Structure 1
Amino acid sequence: MSVFHAKDDCRLIRILKEYIPDVEDLLNPAAGEAEITGVEELIGFRFPDEFKNLYLRHNGEGDQVFGVMSGLSWMNLQSAAAAWRGFQDSAYDIVSGRADAVKEGEYRKGWVPFAEDGGGSFLVMDLEPAAKGSYGQIITLDRNSDISYVLADSLEQFFGFIESGFRNGEIRVTDGEEVMLIERRHGHLFDDVAALTQSDNETNSLIPVSGFWAAYFAEEMDGGYISAAALSKQRMVFIKADAAGKYGAVSLDFLTRMPNLKELIIHAAEIINYDVFKQLPSLTKLVIGGKSFKESGCTVLAVLGEFKGTYLNGPFIKRFVQT
Structure 2
Amino acid sequence: MRLKTLLASLLIGSALVGTVAAGAAWAWGSSGHRMIGEMALKSLPDYMPAFLRTPQAISDVGEYAREPDRWRGAGKVHDNDRDVAHFIDLDDDGNTLAGVSLDNLLANRSDYEAALRAKGVEPYKAGYLPYATVDAWQQVVKDMAFWRVLTYVEARETDRTKKAWYRADLARREDLTLRDIGILAHYVGDSTNPMHLSIHYNGWGDFPNPNGFTMEKVHSPLEGVYVHDTVREDDIAAAMGDYVPCTAPIMTCVTGRFKPSFAKVIPMYQMEKDGGFTAGDPRGKAFMVERLGRGAGDLRDALLDAWRESKTMQVGYKAGSYDDFVGGRIADPWEVLYGDD
Q: TM-score, normalised by structure 2?
A: 0.24
Give the number of the structure with larger relative contact order, counting CA–CA contacts within 8 Å between residues 6 or more apart.
2
In proportion to residue count, which structure has more helix?
Answer: 2
